[in-house]
């Protein structure tokens, strides 16, 4: 897969979910927008979970831990470059390593992710 394919297939979803890592709780409006974007993608909850853990969290957690990083909003262009770069390298041992450590990279936003997935379940009519 090349960079353009990644942007075309995942870009909107990545950018919609990025607010989960900001230094504020997402608003009702943020969650509503995230649910709307997630609904446009035909992904199971398992696929969404792995996308969250492997494709996004390793990049986004660096923003949370960096003193000089963005805290209130992201530069979407720069963020997309970082996400694409990470995902182009996400093969073999890197994928396995990130899977192993994904609990660490997701723990600071796990409660937000769970809230989002609950809202997606409601939107999908699942219990």
Q: In whole angstroms, give the CA distance from residue 74 to residue 15.
A: 9
The first and second tokens of residue 21, run together, are 């890592």
Give the residue-averaged pLDDT of 109-118.
Answer: 97
Confidence band for 110, pLDDT divided at 50, 70 and 90: very high
* Segment 55-103, tens digit of pLDDT: 999 999 887 665 555 556 788 999 999 999 999 999 999 989 988 888 8
Predicted local confidence at residue 117, as pLDDT: 98
Tell me the CA end-to-end span of the chain in Å, nearest whole number.
35
Summarised one tens digit per residue, pLDDT across range 4-25 is: 888 999 999 999 999 999 888 9
- Alpha-carbon radius of gyration of the chain: 14
61, containing H or E segment: helix 57-65
E strands in 39-112: none
Domain ranges within the chain, ordered by starting residue? 3-124
Instruction: State the pTM of this model.
Output: 0.88
Measured at the CA of 6, the angle between CA 3 and CA 61, to 5 degrees, comes to: 100
pLDDT at position 103 is: 87
């Amino acid at each position: 897969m090349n960079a353009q394919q990644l942007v075309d297939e995942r870009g909107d979803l990545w950018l919609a979910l990025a607010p989960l890592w900001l230094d504020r709780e997402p608003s009702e409006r943020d969650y509503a927008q995230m649910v709307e974007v997630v609904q446009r993608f035909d992904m199971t909850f398992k696929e969404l979970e792995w996308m969250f853990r492997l494709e996004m969290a390793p990049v986004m957690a660096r923003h949370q831990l960096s003193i000089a990083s963005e805290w209130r909003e992201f530069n979407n262009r720069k963020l997309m470059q970082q996400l694409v770069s990470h995902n182009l390298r996400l093969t073999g041992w890197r994928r396995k390593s990130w899977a192993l450590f994904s609990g660490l990279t997701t723990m600071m936003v796990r409660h937000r992710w769970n809230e989002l997935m609950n809202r997606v379940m409601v939107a999908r009519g699942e219990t």
